[in-house]
């Protein structure tokens, strides 16, 4: 859509040739330009200065009603059929198109500004043998660029060299996946030798052949050809756009993908125009109304033909026919005349009002202080104004985990040492105490090397360690030795840890604070300061972690020559390898582990083993042989590890909290009560995802069963899904019940809906990424959907961004339910765009998820306010508005219909032309807007108290086709009363002075006044929440009506504009008669009494949840929020092993080159931004990257 040419190229079906392989050469722009690869400029805007008007008008006229009003306008230009002036349609239509165009232009200007800001960033590019500062948008594929510490990565780069040993760089990928722990990337050795020598880099002419642009963030395949040699390239050698370089002075990279081809932009997907289900329903209803309008006009046209044949000839003496006009032509012309007169069934003011209501409800979200996050100065933001009422109809929520439910901050919370639990506080009566911000913290000032940000509350653990308890000291010694963390000491005593995973860092930091400070390492040694005394251990071997072993061990020799193996890992794995003498201790520790698992903590078990010198020598030789073997190396090493990791002595267990965002469990609980289903789609591994599921209250002990689907074949996945389904619903049919229907405009869209099945009890489902890949194939899709929808909670782990979107699409397609996706990284963008509503967590500035979202805020807990308060109110208001609006306009129009039978079907209007023009624009516009912007059935606190109030929204109970038909029937009744009561009352009536009252003008005035009074009374009945604004609008509109009427029907207006104001003196003459006022009263009474009686009976016999809550709030005050007393939850499930660690780090830390000496240099530390005022705040939890103080947790 960037230009007219490209746009019309799309329309004509012209497609660019798809790229099958990318081939580029370093430092050779002419060669690379011949392939016409995209440069590094990005474009998220929809229009430019030339395409704005045609494209915007094209989009607006795709809305059926706008096309209809344009057609009406053309009809009104034909004098033979128009009984109303052309401006009555033209002015509102131009107004609506202009307002929408200005709004779209404003949104697109903001997108242009954002694009320009990014495109004009500067970076050093190697051009003609020199480093030159260039704008990002001028960078081309094949260029070599230089990045410096804390700079954003400009494009997708092949890493060539870096300032770090072994050509490593550290990157933060928060923009991509919301994770703030550092990732390590490593260049090829052959390119790493180029260093930062400009002449060598300028002479580099390597050729890269790789996969075409795609959205897979975790995969990259390619080869580098250099000097006749070919080298394999994978994801570890690529820096992706959106990452930030950390702890690396400089690095050089070769641009592989630029701008729209980068994985970041490929994940952004295509922006789709999202429309609410009410919008779709409105389109169908408008089509039905057109049909109904055509039917009414046809009836009246036939009536006109009959009347012309039977009665018309009698009137030709008074009204001669135009030449050539017979009864048939007269009927044809009257058909189009009635199309114009009766067009108020779909007035253009409906669409103006809908846009104003949506805009107003969007402002409420922007202005809501209870969704403002002061820590980051981040307010909630409605980034679109067209989806508010959809927030009140959500049935499924799809959430990311890291950065959305969790903060990705690990805190060392509790531990069990030699059978004694630490970390909990108890009062004098032995009751468990809640830990708050005011709870006294442990003072670590005795330890000069302690991390000031570390917080712990149980003082007894410090006392135990300082008293010299051997088990406690061995426990923390193990934590200080068994890891792959890299230390950095910029100044004496200022230690910074580069942790590959935040949980590793949390454990090493805990050991540091309790007196066992990991100080430094070389490939052969580890130096630890133990209770103030420096001890250097010889590192003999690292038995590395992998997903099968689920443990990690180190073998060290202390200065006295004693050799020990220290091991940490999953409880199930370690327990199998313990010495029989540990059985009693194991039982006690298991009890503690179950408590920790009940609290949703991530646990590890620690054990050790003293080794014999002679055995160790022999084992080391076998280890050397196995590690250099060409065949079965992995298997032989595993056997050796199994052999030595036996008969371990249990030390205890650690419990680390993957810190949830504040209020996450309560939010999930509230949303579950509102009958909203939450699915977690995460890239994390199964154990971690399960742990978070329990700590969030999504998975609960009370659940009958949590099914795990982890098969590696399509058949296996099918069997596991079917077994789970049969357990939950034994009587259920083997084949899913799919109901087919037609929907959409002209009923062209075919829909398939998988029916919900009743299940006795609550179940959970956890499915792995590789199993999900099979389950999403065509044959298994419905089986997956059936099984998952029977479960209260679904957790999909190890999923790719594409799979996230596929899961959302599957639910959208077969459940016909409104979906919401919430996430915070680029890996969530496809899911956010696929869902009906996308929400971005704005934790990091300029994050990709927020840029693609419809709504954004800083904390997951604000989701419950967005849905249960703003969403529900918006839906309620919109439905109430539509019911009332159709009611008042159908009533207005039906009166015209009945009048046609008394005016010879001549298309004469029953009302004054000025009343017709002002009815929707002035007299009834503001009162209904007041109700639609301010009405609420109950306030926000009651909405939280009773989340069940939300449930009618997803079921679409407040406005649907049935509600519309009821609305029409109500209008039909009201119009009959409003026409025939005044008609009968005025017929053959005389005034007090004997003169006739029953002239056309007096009847028109009476009919329109009755109509307006009844409409206002009906609005008052529909309004639940009165404000001064509502009162002003209702009474003001009535006052405006009488003031305008008396002015327009005055002598002065008649003398100035005789033809425009013919109703001279009508208001004075009619409204001075008592019987006119009596008629108004009687008409109003007959219209309103049945409504009141019907509603009374409904509330008495079939009260809704809203009626019950509103009745309750009248009788009692809202209970004060109760303070939660922490309960001790014991979990019978095996505690979840959680250790977000990657294989291969053991080899890395023992590599001599990794720690080779290099010239001293000044470089930033891991905890950067030390000049920030936040840095001097109170002690903080351990975090891998710069962290700001936590807001006090609300209870």
Catalytically active residues are 400
Structure tokens at 822: 């919430």
Dihedral of alpha carbons 346, 347, 352, 353, sign = negative
Task: Identify the CA nearest to 885 among candidates 925, 916, 915, 913.
Answer: 925
3-state secondary structure 319-340: CCCCCCCCHHHHHHHHHHHHHH
- Cα 1012 to chain center, whole Å? 43
- Per DSSP, helices labelled H in 422-495 are 459-466, 470-481
Q: Which residues on adjacent β-strands are paired with residue 571?
A: none
How many other C-beta atoms can be found within 10 angstroms of the C-beta atom of residue 649?
A: 16
Cα–Cα distance, 199 to 753 (Å, whole number): 65
Q: Which residue has the tokens 């009252």?
A: 997
Distances (CA, A) of 179 to 87, 400, 408, 683, 1185: 58, 11, 7, 11, 10
Q: Which two tokens stand for residue 177?
A: 């996946």
Give CA–CA dist 559/867, Å, rounded. Answer: 62
Residue 815 and residue 100: Cα distance in Å, rounded?
A: 32
CA end-to-end span of the chain: 49
414 vs 424, 597, 1101, CA distance in Å?
Answer: 7, 11, 55
Instruction: Give the phi and the psi of residue 674 in degrees, each rounded to 5.
Output: -80, 5
User: How many whole angstroms separate alpha carbon 728 and alpha carbon 917?
Assistant: 61
Burial of 119 (0-12, 13-18, 19+ CB in 10 A): middle
- The answer to whether 1130 and 501 are in contact (CB under 8 A) is no
Q: What angle, 0 to 180 degrees and rounded to 10, lies between the N-to-C axes of helices 781-790 and 801-815? A: 80
Burial 1103-1130 (b: 16+ CB within 10 A, else e): eeebeebbeebeeeeeeeeeeeeeeeee
CB 654, CB 847: distance < 8 Å: no
Q: Could you tell me which residues come within 8 angstroms of residue 776 by beta carbon, excluding any fewer than 6 positions away?
A: 784, 803, 806, 807, 810
Nearest Cα residue to 277 out of 683, 924, 1072, 817: 817
Tell me if 756 sits within 8 A of 788, measured CB to CB. no
Task: Kindly state the tokens that stand for 918.
Answer: 């002002």
10 Å CB burial of residue 1081 (0-12, 13-18, 19+) is exposed
Q: DSSP state, 754?
A: E
In b/e form, how buried is each residue of 587-626, taking b as 16+ CB within 10 angstroms? Answer: ebbbebbbbbbbbbbbbbbbbbbebeeeebeebeeebeeb
Strand ranges (E), 687-792:
705-709, 738-743, 749-754, 763-768
Cα angle 30, 31, 35 (rounded to 5 degrees) comes to 105
């Amino acid at each position: 859509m960037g230009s007219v040419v490209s746009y019309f190229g799309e329309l004509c079906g012209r497609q660019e040739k798809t790229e099958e392989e990318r081939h580029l050469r370093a430092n050779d722009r002419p060669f690379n330009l011949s392939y016409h690869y995209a440069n590094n400029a990005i474009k998220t805007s929809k229009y430019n200065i030339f395409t704005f008007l045609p494209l915007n008008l094209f989009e607006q006229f795709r809305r059926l009603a706008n096309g209809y009003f344009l057609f009406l306008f053309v009809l009104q230009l034909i004098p033979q059929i128009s009984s109303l002036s052309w401006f009555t349609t033209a002015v509102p239509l131009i107004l609506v198109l202009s307002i929408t165009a200005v709004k779209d232009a404003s949104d697109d200007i903001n997108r242009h500004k954002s694009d320009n800001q990014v495109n004009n960033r500067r970076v050093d590019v190697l051009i003609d043998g020199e480093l030159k500062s260039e704008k990002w948008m001028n960078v081309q594929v094949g260029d070599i660029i230089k990045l410096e510490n804390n700079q954003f990565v400009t494009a997708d780069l092949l890493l060539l060299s870096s300032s770090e040993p072994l050509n490593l760089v550290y990157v933060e990928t928060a923009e991509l996946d919301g994770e703030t722990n550092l990732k390590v990337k490593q260049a090829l050795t052959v390119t790493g030798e180029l260093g930062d020598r400009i002449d060598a880099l300028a002479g580099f002419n390597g050729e890269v052949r790789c996969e075409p642009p795609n959205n897979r963030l975790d995969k990259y395949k390619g080869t580098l050809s250099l000097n006749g040699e070919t080298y394999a390239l994978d994801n570890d050698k690529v820096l992706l756009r959106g990452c930030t370089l950390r702890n690396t002075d400089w690095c050089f990279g070769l641009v592989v993908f630029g701008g729209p081809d980068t994985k970041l932009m490929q994940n952004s997907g295509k922006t789709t125009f999202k429309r609410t289900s009410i919008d779709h329903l409105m389109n169908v209803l408008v089509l039905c109304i057109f049909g109904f309008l055509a039917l009414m006009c046809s009836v009246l046209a036939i009536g006109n033909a009959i009347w012309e044949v039977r009665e018309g000839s009698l009137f030709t003496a008074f009204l001669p026919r135009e030449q050539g006009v017979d009864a048939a032509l007269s009927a044809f012309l009257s058909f189009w005349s009635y199309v114009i007169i009766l067009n108020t069934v779909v007035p253009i003011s409906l669409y103006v009002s809908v846009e104003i209501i949506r805009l107003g409800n969007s402002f409420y979200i922007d202005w809501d202080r209870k969704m403002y996050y002061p820590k980051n100065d981040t307010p909630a933001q409605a980034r679109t104004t067209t989806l508010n009422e959809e927030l009140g109809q959500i049935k499924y929520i799809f959430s990311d985990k890291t950065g959305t439910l969790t903060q990705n901050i690990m805190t060392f919370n509790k531990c069990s040492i030699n059978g004694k639990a630490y970390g909990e506080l108890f009062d004098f009566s032995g009751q468990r105490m809640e830990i708050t911000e005011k709870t006294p913290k442990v003072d670590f000032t005795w330890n000069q090397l302690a991390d000031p940000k570390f917080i712990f509350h149980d003082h007894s653990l410090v006392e135990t360690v300082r008293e010299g308890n051997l088990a406690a000291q061995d426990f923390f010694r193990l934590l200080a030795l068994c890891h792959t963390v890299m230390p950095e000491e910029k100044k004496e005593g200022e230690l910074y840890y580069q942790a590959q995973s935040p949980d590793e860092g949390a454990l090493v930091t805990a050991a540091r604070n309790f007196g066992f400070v990991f100080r430094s390492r070389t490939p052969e040694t580890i130096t630890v300061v133990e209770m103030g005394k420096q001890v250097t251990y010889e590192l003999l071997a690292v038995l590395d972690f992998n997903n099968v072993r689920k443990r990690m061990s180190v073998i060290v020799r202390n200065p006295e020559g004693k050799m020990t193996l220290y091991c940490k890992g999953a409880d199930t794995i370690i327990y199998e390898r313990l010495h029989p003498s540990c059985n009693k201790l194991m039982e006690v520790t298991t009890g503690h582990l179950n408590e920790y698992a009940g609290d949703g903590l991530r646990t590890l078990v620690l054990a050790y083993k003293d080794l014999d010198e002679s055995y160790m020598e022999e084992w080391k030789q076998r280890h050397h042989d196995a590690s250099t073997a060409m065949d079965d190396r992995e298997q032989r090493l595993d056997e050796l590890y199994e052999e030595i990791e036996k008969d371990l002595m249990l030390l205890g267990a650690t419990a680390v909290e993957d810190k949830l965002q504040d209020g996450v469990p309560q939010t999930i609980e509230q949303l579950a009560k509102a009958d909203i289903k939450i699915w977690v789609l995460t890239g994390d591994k199964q154990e971690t995802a399960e742990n978070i599921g329990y700590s969030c209250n999504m998975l609960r002990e009370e659940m009958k069963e949590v099914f795990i689907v982890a098969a590696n074949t399509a058949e296996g996945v099918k069997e596991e899904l079917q077994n789970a389904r049969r357990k939950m619903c034994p009587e259920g049919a083997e084949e899913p019940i799919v109901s087919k229907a037609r929907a959409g405009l002209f009923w062209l869209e075919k829909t398939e809906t998988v029916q919900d099945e009743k299940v006795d009890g609550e179940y959970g489902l956890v499915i792995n990424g590789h199993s999900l890949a099979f389950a999403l194939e065509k044959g298994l899709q419905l089986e997956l959907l059936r099984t998952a929808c029977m479960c209260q909670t679904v957790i999909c782990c190890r999923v790719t961004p594409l799979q996230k979107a596929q899961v959302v699409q599957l639910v959208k397609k077969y459940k016909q339910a409104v979906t919401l996706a919430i996430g915070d990284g680029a890996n969530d963008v496809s899911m956010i765009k696929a869902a009906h509503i996308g929400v971005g967590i704005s934790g990091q500035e300029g994050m990709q998820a927020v840029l693609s979202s419809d709504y954004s805020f800083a904390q997951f807990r604000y989701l419950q306010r967005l849905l249960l308060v703003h969403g529900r109110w918006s839906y309620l208001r919109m439905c109430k508005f539509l019911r009332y609006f159709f009611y008042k306009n159908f009533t207005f129009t039906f009166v015209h219909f009945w009048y046609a039978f008394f005016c010879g079907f001549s298309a004469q209007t029953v009302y004054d032309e000025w009343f017709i023009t002002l009815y929707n624009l002035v007299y009834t516009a503001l009162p209904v807007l007041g109700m639609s912007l301010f009405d609420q059935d109950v306030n926000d606190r009651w909405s939280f108290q009773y989340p069940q109030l939300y449930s009618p929204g997803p079921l679409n109970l407040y406005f649907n086709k049935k509600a519309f038909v009821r609305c029409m029937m109500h209008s039909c009744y009201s119009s009959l009363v409003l026409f025939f009561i005044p008609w009968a009352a005025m017929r053959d009536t005389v005034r007090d002075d004997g003169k006739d009252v029953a002239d056309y003008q007096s009847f028109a005035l009476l009919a329109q006044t009755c109509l307006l009074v009844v409409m206002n009374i009906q609005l008052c009945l529909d309004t639940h929440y009165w404000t001064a604004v509502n009162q002003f609008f209702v009474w003001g509109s009535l006052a405006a009506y009488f003031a305008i009427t008396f002015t327009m029907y005055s002598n002065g207006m008649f003398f100035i504009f005789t033809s425009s104001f013919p109703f001279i003196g009508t208001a004075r003459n009619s409204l001075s008669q008592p019987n006119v006022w009596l008629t108004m009263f009687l008409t109003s009474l007959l219209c309103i009494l049945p409504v009141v009686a019907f509603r009374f009976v409904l509330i008495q016999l079939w009260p809704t949840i809203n009626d019950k809550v509103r009745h309750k709030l009248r009788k009692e005050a809202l209970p004060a929020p109760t303070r939660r007393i922490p309960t001790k939850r014991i979990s019978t499930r095996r505690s979840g092993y959680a250790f977000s660690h990657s294989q291969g780090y053991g080899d890395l830390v023992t590599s001599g080159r990794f720690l080779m000496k290099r010239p001293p240099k000044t470089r930033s530390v891991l905890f950067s931004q030390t000049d920030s005022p936040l840095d001097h705040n109170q002690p903080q939890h351990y975090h891998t990257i710069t962290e700001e103080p936590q807001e006090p947790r609300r209870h």
